[in-house]
A and B are shown apart, each in its own frame.
Chain A
């Protein structure tokens, strides 16, 4: 028996660009580590370093405060965004140069891994991370709660997401990633055609992160339904909260399908089962159905919170209440329901028959109705409002343009006859980037800018934010409008080489220039972050309400205290903080009566659970069988120890709260 399973030194060997990067990392990392140790010893800075690690451990890594967990989500997701964009740049460079006798910058095999990594990372580790980050930061504050329903489970969810992130990035160095595309369709992803560890890395990083997402879904669902401020009935909830509620219902119903599907693919590959194999009674179409029964709702899981963010942003910066609140709620509900009965439009060409295709085509087209209702409601909210064109509003207006283009091409493709023409072409690629970048990413950027002062206590620089927006917006159009044209010209997606006579190259070059613009946008965002941190004293938010906001999160100081609200007084209105400001001259009543309450203690156990889950995944990927039961046992034991702990909370006394509140008031 091999003690390390299939893992040998060959796993570290790579060619081409990946080889260069990996070798640089393999040589660079130990050198950097030695330099760090030597430097700390030479300059006698060990106490500082240890102090820093302790601070990090106590204030961040073991924290159960959703605001801190939210920030950690954003940091991880932004790091992954850089990797995802680097992958995108490689793809654009390859397709712009690999024409005729030239074969571009990477081999076909690397190219396949790159587009798999790009899709997987952008959806699971960027978009999902940004989404759960923003929800953690904002949602408890917005419903007037002190915490989420299950603070420890929240931390475990976050660390499972990190474990998945580490696992998929590890595949770059140890072994390889799947070369199957981001949804790993069988039979290609079966052992017979993908014998390496690539697909296994893909399965287990998604499985681990996906279980984290499912737990988050349950957590926020219960938080919204059980922990709202007294008086905040469902129809008085802020629109962002409504959108998250709908998204979390989708998470709870869709993610178990992903878990089951990935498990079945893993059983095929690891235990020799025949769910989706080409022979022995397997059915690959079953996989495609199952994965899209999760995958289509997933699109709405990502975009609904973005809709919610825009609802808050537009109302705040227009200084008007949201137009058509009730219709907005019903539109969300309709989208949530419809998103479960359209999955087949991802494979009209598979041969389900005309009747089935017709049903799914009509259902798909129908989704445009509630979505259209939302777009018009936002525009009507702006109508006759005192609109402030701050950066979040720019993201919104950019979104209206790009999302509407994407929506129209989507309705176009909902017609099966048209879909047969553009299926699997760059037209489709352009369409879903319109939805995911122009819808989801723009929305999250708007949300981060909007709520930034509440989390960090200072505003982001507006000028650099505008530069970043215009670069992203221009870059987006330059990168994806050519892909629509290319798709109509017949360019299939995922091509690593094409003939010069196609006449495609100039469009691919324009698209590549678009990526440069987007990269410049990201550069401005980094600059904006650094500059705003540097100038934070001048941009400090002393009022807690920098934008003249409407909902409860703006009624507390910035940054919000760890317990969010000192007093949980009932609300009576839909925009409670706005109404309170209209009624009284002062924002807060003069004298409050404080009470003791319980808060969760810090805990590293979530991190430990995720670490053992990571080891479990790694062991299965490399067939290190002795380690598998040990890691599983460690996961179970850690969960048992934590859930049986009766002393996981501590009491915050009224006196402490009074002291802290007084210090904020000064």
Chain B
């Protein structure tokens, strides 16, 4: 099985690179369209930096707790793994709730994805990240039941490794979103 492990982990790295290209396409589109507000509000008027900073800190913390969970997994402590992933899960849900709140606030103020090219690009880029977080949460939920039932079998450990890679990857993507969409948007 050790051979399988290295194949799967490497394969997942390649998958993450393809996902990176997918996000790159969305970033590039956002960069091209961010000025196309069609008479509507631009980034500086719409986004609240303190709110997004809160989101960012929550997601960064969740990446840290996911790292602690993996340390516990490699040390063979299933209870600690569950506890840290539970914290990670809750932080992920909190992040997602804040994002959905931001989205619905924008939509209610008449600034939905249909308003302009800029807003289409914004909702799609940030929303795609949100969808990834959602699938990460579903995956985390499944893995937690797996750990409850079967402990830290080698197969489970491998899947947890992939999950934590995925979670950290989403963190990195968010750093770019925070910088390019929100910080540069506020500065413009």
* A residues at B contact (CB < 8 Å): 149-150, 214, 217-219, 221-222, 225-227, 252-253, 255-257, 259-261, 263-264, 267-268, 271-275, 277, 279-283, 286, 290, 293, 636, 640, 643-644, 646
Contact, CB under 8 Å: B7 / A221: no
* B residues at A contact (CB < 8 Å): 6-8, 10-11, 14-15, 17-22, 25-26, 28-29, 32-33, 36-38, 113-118, 120-121, 123-124, 138, 142, 146, 153, 155, 159
Contact, CB under 8 Å: A286 / B29: yes
Chain B residues with CB under 8 Å of A222's CB are 7, 10-11, 14
Q: How far is the CA of A575 from the CA of B118 in the complex (A)?
A: 56
Q: How far is the CA of A416 from the CA of B148 in the complex (A)?
A: 64
Contact, CB under 8 Å: B33 / A283: yes
Of B21, B22, B118, most buried by chain A (CB within 10 Å of CB) is: B21
Shortest Cβ distance from residue B147 to the other chain A in the assembled complex, whole angstroms:
12
Contact, CB under 8 Å: A256 / B124: no
Name which residue of chain B comes closest to A282, CB basis: B117
Q: How far is the CA of A221 from the CA of B12 in the complex (A)?
A: 11
6 cross-chain pairs, A with B, having the tightest CB-CB distances, nearest first:
A281-B117, A281-B36, A273-B120, A260-B25, A281-B38, A256-B21
Q: Add 17 more A-B contacts to A273-B114, A636-B138 (CB < 8 A).
A: A219-B11, A222-B10, A222-B11, A222-B14, A257-B22, A267-B120, A272-B114, A274-B114, A274-B116, A274-B120, A275-B120, A275-B121, A277-B117, A281-B33, A290-B28, A644-B146, A646-B155
Cross-interface CB contact of A273 among B28, B37, B113, B142, cutoff 8 Å: B113
Shortest Cβ distance from residue B188 to the other chain A in the assembled complex, whole angstroms:
16
Cross-interface CB contact of B117 among A149, A253, A259, A280, cutoff 8 Å: A280
Contact, CB under 8 Å: A283 / B32: yes
Contact, CB under 8 Å: A274 / B117: yes
Chain B residues with CB under 8 Å of A271's CB are 113-114
Q: How far is the CA of A271 from the CA of B115 in the complex (A)?
A: 11
Of B10, B32, B117, most buried by chain A (CB within 10 Å of CB) is: B117
Q: How far is the CA of A273 from the CA of B119 in the complex (A)?
A: 8
Contact, CB under 8 Å: A267 / B124: yes
Chain A residues with CB under 8 Å of B114's CB are 271-274, 280
Contact, CB under 8 Å: A290 / B29: yes
Q: How far is the CA of A218 from the CA of B20 in the complex (A)?
A: 14
Contact, CB under 8 Å: A281 / B22: no
Chain B residues with CB under 8 Å of A273's CB are 113-114, 120, 123-124
- The contact sample of 21 A-B pairs, CB cut-off 8 A, is A150-B11, A217-B18, A218-B14, A222-B7, A222-B10, A226-B10, A227-B7, A255-B18, A257-B25, A260-B26, A264-B124, A267-B124, A272-B113, A273-B123, A274-B38, A274-B116, A279-B38, A281-B33, A281-B38, A282-B33, A282-B120
Name which residue of chain A comes closest to B12, CB basis: A218
Contact, CB under 8 Å: A280 / B116: yes
Shortest Cβ distance from residue B49 to the other chain A in the assembled complex, whole angstroms:
24
Q: How far is the CA of A186 from the CA of B37 in the complex (A)?
A: 19
Chain A residues with CB under 8 Å of B28's CB are 290
Q: How far is the CA of A293 from the CA of B142 in the complex (A)?
A: 37
Chain B residues with CB under 8 Å of A226's CB are 6-7, 10
Known A272-B114, A280-B38, A286-B29; contact A260-B22, beta-carbon cutoff 8 A? yes
Contact, CB under 8 Å: A149 / B7: yes
Chain A residues with CB under 8 Å of B120's CB are 267-268, 273-275, 281-282
Name which residue of chain B comes closest to A251, CB basis: B18
Q: How far is the CA of A193 from the CA of B20 in the complex (A)?
A: 33
Shortest Cβ distance from residue B131 to the other chain A in the assembled complex, whole angstroms:
11
Q: How far is the CA of A256 from the CA of B17 in the complex (A)?
A: 10
Chain A residues with CB under 8 Å of B17's CB are 252-253
Contact, CB under 8 Å: B11 / A218: yes
Q: How far is the CA of A268 from the CA of B146 in the complex (A)?
A: 40
Q: How far is the CA of A644 from the CA of B145 in the complex (A)?
A: 11
Chain A residues with CB under 8 Å of B142's CB are 640, 644
Chain B residues with CB under 8 Å of A219's CB are 11
Chain A residues with CB under 8 Å of B29's CB are 260, 264, 275, 286, 290
Contact, CB under 8 Å: B124 / A290: no
Chain A residues with CB under 8 Å of B14's CB are 218, 221-222, 252
Shortest Cβ distance from residue B8 to the other chain A in the assembled complex, whole angstroms:
8
Shortest Cβ distance from residue A150 to the other chain B in the assembled complex, whole angstroms:
6
Q: How far is the CA of A375 from the CA of B126 in the complex (A)?
A: 47
Contact, CB under 8 Å: B25 / A283: no
Cross-interface CB contact of B116 among A255, A257, A281, A636, cutoff 8 Å: A281
Of A252, A279, A644, most buried by chain B (CB within 10 Å of CB) is: A644
Chain A residues with CB under 8 Å of B25's CB are 256-257, 260-261, 290, 293
Q: How far is the CA of A150 from the CA of B162 in the complex (A)?
A: 15
Chain B residues with CB under 8 Å of A257's CB are 21-22, 25
Shortest Cβ distance from residue A230 to the other chain B in the assembled complex, whole angstroms:
12
Shortest Cβ distance from residue A589 to the other chain B in the assembled complex, whole angstroms:
25
Q: How far is the CA of A268 from the CA of B116 in the complex (A)?
A: 11
Shortest Cβ distance from residue A339 to the other chain B in the assembled complex, whole angstroms:
15
Shortest Cβ distance from residue A228 to the other chain B in the assembled complex, whole angstroms:
12
Chain B residues with CB under 8 Å of A260's CB are 22, 25-26, 29
Q: How far is the CA of A68 from the CA of B44 in the complex (A)?
A: 57
Q: How far is the CA of A257 from the CA of B153 in the complex (A)?
A: 37
Chain A residues with CB under 8 Å of B20's CB are 256
Q: How far is the CA of A112 from the CA of B17 in the complex (A)?
A: 37
Q: How far is the CA of A286 from the CA of B120 in the complex (A)?
A: 14
Chain B residues with CB under 8 Å of A263's CB are 124
Q: How far is the CA of A520 from the CA of B56 in the complex (A)?
A: 64
Q: How far is the CA of A263 from the CA of B118 in the complex (A)?
A: 16
Q: How far is the CA of A424 from the CA of B169 in the complex (A)?
A: 42
Name which residue of chain B comes closest to A287, CB basis: B29
